[in-house]
Chain A
């Protein structure tokens, strides 16, 4: 297990080691000019996205779990839709709509005869704009995990609260929210890591953050060591974040002792309030999915025929293959690591597991280079050995193949499945392990027959989140993919970054559609996974 963690941590370690190669004077240049901006913007962006996703995510999760309002069932899965929308795509579409030269503002100007500067219109391509874009596509992480947590909560704990005379709001704030905290924090930390690693959106909006800084230092100034130093600083911030969260949880345990589950009795909302709740749930879906999807659809109308002809089915197949392969491997590894930590929580194991999950916060490009360096070194070493001793050249065995790409995905997205699995495990009382073990089941059997059925929802969540993430992933795919191996995301990005938004639309739409099936599957299984709830939920 330590070996697995070590291998997965390799790219991260490579980056950190690389950072120690001196880069004379570059650091002082950065610190004196752009570094403060990077720090400030990254911090502000994280705060904005964090607050936004927290409110939208937990709010809608609570409403759909605990309140009865028209359209509630439909909303439980509609709320997940924005998950399938890549952040850079939504940024492109909103810019197309809301920019100064876009249709909305142009129409306003035509109606009222305004010119530039005559009226106020929020600038979409700005830091707040980027925060809104990221919030709209990332809130489902918090929604998903907190919803799963609310569903897994024993009705007894909540009903005790109700009989003690707590109002719905108080039950939410004083019982449900604290009990769901590990899940919410997990969701939030995924969101923050994703935010810190975002490149496409901030680049397009011209917001200078750590990620754009890393690219610029690396490729613009040709200073890989200094770029690695920036990446290491980013990494440090994430480690700090994780430690802080762990420290604040300390020894508290979040599982409850009651195993009694009954269908939750929802709060009945009055008609007016019911529609308000519906509105609260509908707006993130409209803004984060429906509106951009419609825009993409209208663009697609012009270019669909041409785009579909160009090896499109193959693009779809490649994307699905990569996503399926990675998500299943990631689940296996996450189970191994998380369960290992539960069984033997030594400091070494914990540190190793922690490092393996860090990749999520590192921009894909940096991971890719962290993968290329050791892989190419290994390949070249084997090749040199084979040439010297066997007289044949083995060439590149790993780099430039799907192995390298899937490995990079695993490094980058393991955190997603790891955290989901861990928060699932955390809610299972240790006493269950102990009972199973004392009845003679070995750890593997305990995992298979006790833990896995209980956390089926978490496991599926882990698989599907990684699946959707891989579908959307861009920078690592661009650099590591084999020859002539393109995916939907690559096609969409290449066209969009060439400012051919309309031509990019079919591929972008396909990513969103391909993400739909797992998302629907996800919501159905979560609803069913609540013990005692049956298939009627």
Chain B
């Protein structure tokens, strides 16, 4: 047994050392990513191929990564923080762990609404949170806005996931930014009253529930729908459901971004900026649309046939840092209204 322990200890020491070497080498960039590894790695690999810069990454929950960044302080190994929502990027800025980046490429390709006004972070891909309706049981035009989800007419007909979910928190935060706390709270109360079941599962589960007849309406992100349509097993289910772009002609559909910023104590700042610039390049932007069914943040990039089928839409141009500003108010409000 003693021999075995020595062996294991040596192994651990070796992997530790090689790891330290990898993190400190010159041609690397270290990424803390809230985006799951499988959903970003192919892109990072292509970046490495083209530039020779190796990308080390650690994926975890955004809140947890933020805690880690804060406590590591100036010794943090991370050069880039990548998240799947703007709220957490704003929070990272507030916590003082990001630094502003000046880059013509980024300023040119990322529209103003989708980046921090002072360049602390930049959106990389757009994700719209929209309404889905049953083709069989509802008419086209039966619902056209988020506000209508609270209409008593839909009592017991709305499926939506838990308020623990960041996308729901961001949606409510955007409503607070537009209409204030009081109006939003009334809306959330109406929505809770209309729920078909107590919130459970993920976004796809809400779409599936509509197809199965448990509710007429659901709220979900578009890329989940895109993936269901692209997958043979779930296509039949997804085809029973229609996508509704809400608030067209008004303020537009609620969008969030996945995005990234350079950390304040980055050791490889130059590589970090190169990575961000690569991620808004047309190749990477097309990849978001093709592999993940997200919308490119850059204008004029070709999108996949599935996304084209969803049609053109007008998106809410609220500056997304507001989502971070109102996030905790949103959570409290949902607590009060009993949105589980």
Contacts and interface: CB of A to CB of B under 8 A. Distances in A.
B91 A116 contact: no
A101 B203 contact: no
Given A106-B212, A400-B77, A483-B22, A216 B204 contact: no
A9 interface: no
Interface of B: 1, 5, 8-9, 11-12, 15-16, 19-20, 22-23, 30, 36-39, 56-65, 67-68, 71-77, 91, 161-162, 164, 166, 169, 197-205, 208-209, 211-214, 224, 237, 327-328, 331-332, 335-336, 340
B37 A486 contact: yes
A380 B209 contact: no
Contacts of A105: 212
B205 A498 contact: no
Most buried by B among A37, A212, A365, A400: A400
Contacts of B5: 328
A372 B68 contact: yes
B332 A29 contact: yes
Nearest to B330: A220
A377 interface: yes
Contacts of A220: 164, 166, 169, 327-328, 331
Interface in A474-494: 478-479, 481-486, 490-491, 494
Contact of B201 (A95, A216, A222, A393): A95
B203 A499 contact: yes
B58 A482 contact: yes
B214 A485 contact: no
Given A365-B64, A372-B68, A499-B202, A483 B58 contact: yes
B204 A483 contact: no
A33 B188 CA distance: 15
A83 to B, nearest CB: 23
A324 B63 contact: no
A205 to B, nearest CB: 6
A494 B37 contact: yes
A219 B22 contact: no
Given A483-B58, A484-B56, A125 B63 contact: no
Given A325-B8, A365-B64, A483-B57, A101 B211 contact: yes
9 contacts: A206-B162, A206-B340, A365-B64, A380-B74, A396-B72, A399-B71, A479-B64, A484-B58, A503-B38
Interface residues of A, dominant DSSP: helix
Nearest to B228: A499
B129 to A, nearest CB: 16
A33 B16 CA distance: 46
Contacts of A497: 36, 202
Nearest to B30: A483
> What 6 A-B pairs are tightest by C-beta distance, nearest first?
A219-B63, A206-B200, A483-B56, A101-B208, A376-B71, A101-B212
Contacts of A312: none
A395 B72 CA distance: 10
A395 B331 CA distance: 37
Given A206-B200, A498-B39, A224 B67 contact: yes
Contacts of A491: 38
A206 B160 CA distance: 11
Interface residues of A, number: 69
B283 to A, nearest CB: 22
A203 interface: yes
A481 B64 CA distance: 12
Nearest to A374: B71
A380 B39 CA distance: 33
Contacts of A365: 61, 64
A402 B212 contact: no
B12 A402 contact: yes
A212 to B, nearest CB: 6
Contact of A494 (B38, B76, B162): B38
A517 interface: no
Contacts of A219: 61-64
A391 interface: no
A115 B213 contact: yes
B200 A479 contact: no
B328 A483 contact: no
A34 interface: yes
A224 B66 CA distance: 12
Interface in A140-192: none
A216 B61 CA distance: 12
A484 B15 CA distance: 12
A172 to B, nearest CB: 37
A311 B72 CA distance: 29
Contact of A223 (B37, B164, B328): B328
A383 B328 CA distance: 35
B134 to A, nearest CB: 11
Interface in A194-233: 203-206, 208, 212, 215-216, 218-224
Contacts of A324: 8
Contacts of B8: 321, 324-325, 328
B212 A116 contact: yes
Which of A219, A376, A481, A491 has most B Cβ within 10 Å?
A219
Pick from B68, B76, B199 the residue with the most CB of A within 10 Å: B68
Contacts of A379: 72, 75
Interface string A92-114: 00010001110001100000000
Given A208-B340, A220-B327, A328-B5, A482 B72 contact: no
A396 B57 contact: no
A485 B60 CA distance: 12
A376 B202 contact: no
A535 B336 CA distance: 63
A483 B77 contact: yes
A206 B202 CA distance: 10
B40 to A, nearest CB: 11
Contacts of A297: none
B75 A483 contact: no
Nearest to A208: B340
Contacts of B36: 494-495, 497-498
Contacts of B37: 486, 494
Given A204-B200, A479-B65, A499-B205, 7 more contacts: A100-B214, A101-B209, A369-B67, A380-B72, A395-B77, A479-B64, A482-B19
